[in-house]
A and B are shown apart, each in its own frame.
Chain A
Amino acid sequence: MGNTEALKNMDRAVQERTKVLFLEHQQRIFKQTDRLFVGLMMFQWIAGIVIALVISPKTWMGPASQTHAHVWAAIFLGGGIASFPVALGIFAPGRIMTRNVIAVAQMLFSALLIHLTGGRIETHFHVFGSLAFLAFYRDWRILIPATIVVAIDHMVRGIFWPQSVFGVLTASPWRWVEHAAWVIFEDIFLIRSCRRSVVEMRHIAERTAQLEAHNQLVDVKVKERTRELFESKEELASEITERKKLKNMMIQSEKMAAVGQLAAGVAHEINNPVGFISNNIEMLEQYTTDYTKILRMVENLQKSIEEENMEKAKSIVKAMSQFEQEINLDYIINDTGKLLQYTQRGIERIQKIVMDLRTFAREDHGAIDFVKIEEVIDSILSIVQNELKYKAELKKNYGDTPLVKCNTQRVGQVFINLLVNAIQAIEKKGAIEVKTYKEDGHVCVDVRDTGKGIEPKNLEKIFDPFFTTKPVGQGTGLGLSVSYEIIKKHGGEIKVQSKIGEGTVFTVQLPVNL
C-alpha cells in the first residue's frame, strides 16, 4: 500500500520534472533562435544595402543622376524593419512577442530584398528559406504571422497598385492564390516538423526526468550501501581483532590442555623414580644402622687394645665377624653403591622431565632457531615416553634431514599433540612409528599409529577447532586446529591419511629454505 503510494508520488514528481525540463529546453531554443535572428537581421540589413548599391546605385534623368530610391529604402526601410526585432532579441529574448515580431520582420525582409534585386525569381527563395529558418523555433504558431505578412504584402499592393503585383486585373486572383498556395505548402511541412520536434523534446524531457529520478534513487542506494559497507567493515575489523585474541587464547589453552593431558603421564614418570628413590633411601637407612653397629664395635675394639685387655679384644673380634656374617656385609657394601647410583639417576630423570615440561608450558612466544627436527621430536618423546611405553612399541626411523628454521616450542607442541592423539587412538597395545625424511625442499615427519583410525566423514573436520570425538575432560578438539595453524605459520603443511581399524598417519612438512 505504502509502496504504490510512493511509486505514484515518484511518477507525479517525474511528470512535473518533465514539464519543467521541457519548458527549459524550449526556452533555451527560443533564446538561441532569437539570438540567431538578431545576427541574421543585421546581416540582411547590410546585405540589402550592398545589393542596392551594386544593382541600382543611381537613378537617371538623361545625363543627370541621383541616388536611387532603392539605396534609401535599403538603408532606412531595412534599418527600420531590423531595429525592433533586434532590440527585442537583445533585451527580451525568449518572449512570445519577440519571436512573432522577428517572424514578421523576416518576411518583410524577404519582400524588401526581392524588391532590391528587381524581383528576381531566385530572391523569392528567400521567402521559403525564411520560413524554414523560422521553423528553428519549433513553434509552428509563428508561421502564421509570417504567412499573413506575405499575404498582406501581396494583397495591399494588389489593392493599391494592382498592376505591380498581378500585371493587370485579369490574371490577378490566380497569381495571389498560387503564391499563397506555395507558401502554405511549405507551411504544412514546417508545421509537421515543428510539432514532431516538440514531441521529441517532450520525450527527451521525460527521459531525462526519469533518468534523474533513477539516478537519485541510485545515489541514495549507493550512499546507503556505502554506509552499510563501512559499518560492516568496522564490524569485520573488530571481529578480526577479536578472533586474533581468541586464537591466542586458544593456542594458550590448548597448550595447557596438552600439558593437562600429559599431567597423568608426567606424574607417573615422576612418581616412578620418586618411588624407587624412597625405597633406596629406606634400604640405605637400614644399611646405615648396620654400618653404625660395626663402627661402634670397631670403636670398642680400639679401646680394648689401648687398655691392653687382649681377652676383651678377642671376644669383640669374634662378635664382629659373627655380625658381619649375619648381615652379609659384602653384599651391603656392594648394594649401597648401586642404590646411590640408581637414586642419582632417578633424580636426574626427574630434573629432565621438569625441565622439558617447563619448556613447553612456558608463556613466552618462543624464539626462532635453526634446529634438527629429530632433536625436537626426541625431547618430546622423553616427556611422553612413559605414557607411550605401556601402550605402544615406539619405532624411530630418522632420515638424514637438513636443519629447519622454526619455533622449537611451537613445533614441539605439534608433536606432543600428534603423539598424544596417537597414544589415545590405540586402545590396548599397538605401535607408533616416527619417521623423518627429506622430500623436495621439505623436511617431513610421519607420525604413524596402529590405532582405531578416523572415520572418513570426520577426516575433513578434525582440523576444525573444538571438533572432538573424545569424552568431555579428555578431548578439547583444539589440538589439531592449533597444530594446523602453527605449521601454516611456518609455511608448511600438515596432512592426514587414515583407515578405520588399521591406523592413521599424520605428515608434517616444513620447508627447508625458510
Chain B
Amino acid sequence: MKRNKHAVIIVFIVWALIVGLGWALLSHYENVPGQSQPLPEHWPLATKVRRTPGLPTLLMFVHPHCPCSRASAGELSLIMAHSQKKVRAQVLFLRPETLSEQWVKTDLWDSAMRIPGVEVVMDDQGKEARIFHANVSGQVMLYDARGNLVFSGGITPSRGHQGDNDGRDAIVSFLTKGIILHKQTPFFGCLLFSSLQQS
C-alpha cells in the first residue's frame, strides 16, 4: 500500500516533468521571434509598392499558407476598425517563382480581402519582401506620411496567438494620436524564404 503510494508519487513527478518539458518546448517554439534584420529606415526607392501622399503606409508580409498568420490577419482587421482612412494598408502575399497564383489564393488571402480598407497584393518571387528586408510571415512595417519607418514587428502576442499586444497598440496609437509607443515588437511566423534561416 505504502510502496504503491510512493510509486504513484514517483510516476506523478515523472509525468509532471515530461509534461513540463513538452510545454517548455512548445512555448519556446512559439515565442522565438523571427530575427530582425536591419530594415530600411526610409521608403526604399526600388519598391513598386504605391503610397498615397499625405497618408502613412502600413505593410504586412504574409506567407499564404502560414497558419500563424491567421492571428496576424485578425489583429490587422482590429487595427483597421480603429483607423480606416488614416492609413494606406497593404498585405503582400508571397508567391515563390515555382508556384501558381492558385497556391497564393488561400483562405488567408480571402480573409485579408475581406478586411475593409486593405489592399491585397501578390508579391511575385518575394521581390518586395526582399526590398523591405522582411523574412517572417506576419511582419508589419509602418511608414509615416513622409516615408520614415515609425514601427516594425509583429502584431500578435506570440506565435499564432491573437490577443492584446504592443504591436497593435503602437500602430493604433500612432495612427490616432501620432504618438510612438514602441518602435519595435517581436514577430512570430513562418519563414518567407527557406534560404535565410533554418527552423
- Which residues of A come within 8 Å of B, CB atoms? 55-66, 68-70, 73, 76-77, 80-81, 83-84, 88, 92, 97, 101, 108, 111, 115, 118-121, 153, 157, 160-161, 163-168, 170-171, 175
14 cross-chain CB contacts under 8 A: A56-B68, A61-B191, A62-B94, A68-B67, A70-B160, A77-B26, A84-B11, A101-B12, A108-B23, A119-B71, A119-B162, A119-B163, A164-B157, A166-B157
Q: Do A118 and B18 have beta carbons less than 8 Å apart?
A: no
Q: Which of B8, B96, B126, B195 gathers the greatest number of chain A CB atoms within 10 Å?
A: B8
Confirm or deny: B45 has a beta carbon within 8 angstroms of a beta carbon on chain A: no
Chain A nearest Cβ from B6, distance in angstroms: 12
Chain A nearest Cβ from B173, distance in angstroms: 13
What total of A-B pairs shows CB separation below 8 Å?
135
Chain A nearest Cβ from B154, distance in angstroms: 9
Query: In the complex, which residues of chain A have a beta carbon less than 8 angstroms from the beta carbon of B169?
Result: 167
Chain B interfacial residues counted at CB < 8 A: 53
Assembly CA distance A58 to B68 (angstroms)? 10
Confirm or deny: B70 has a beta carbon within 8 angstroms of a beta carbon on chain A: yes
Confirm or deny: B166 has a beta carbon within 8 angstroms of a beta carbon on chain A: yes
Partner of A167 from B8, B28, B137, B164 at Cβ < 8 Å? B164
Query: In the complex, which residues of chain B have a beta carbon less than 8 angstroms from the beta carbon of A101?
Result: 12, 15
With A61-B199, A119-B161 as given contacts, are A163 and B67 in contact (CB-CB < 8 Å)? no
Q: Do A119 and B160 have beta carbons less than 8 Å apart?
A: yes
The SS class assigned to the B binding surface is loop
Partner of A168 from B23, B28, B166 at Cβ < 8 Å? B166
Across the two chains, which residue of chain A brings its CB closest to B137? A60
Q: Do B22 and A167 have beta carbons less than 8 Å apart?
A: no
With A163-B186, A164-B27 as given contacts, are A63 and B194 in contact (CB-CB < 8 Å)? yes
Q: Do A58 and B67 have beta carbons less than 8 Å apart?
A: yes
Q: Do B164 and A171 have beta carbons less than 8 Å apart?
A: yes
Query: In the complex, which residues of chain A have a beta carbon less than 8 angstroms from the beta carbon of B11?
Result: 84
Q: Do A119 and B158 have beta carbons less than 8 Å apart?
A: yes
Assembly CA distance A272 to B66 (angstroms)? 148
Q: Do B194 and A80 have beta carbons less than 8 Å apart?
A: no
Chain A nearest Cβ from B15, distance in angstroms: 4
Query: In the complex, which residues of chain A have a beta carbon less than 8 angstroms from the beta carbon of B94?
Result: 62
Confirm or deny: B63 has a beta carbon within 8 angstroms of a beta carbon on chain A: yes
Query: In the complex, which residues of chain A have a beta carbon less than 8 angstroms from the beta carbon of B23?
Result: 77, 108, 111, 153
Chain A nearest Cβ from B150, distance in angstroms: 17
Q: Do B98 and A63 have beta carbons less than 8 Å apart?
A: yes
Query: In the complex, which residues of chain B have a beta carbon less than 8 angstroms from the beta carbon of A69?
Result: 26, 29-30
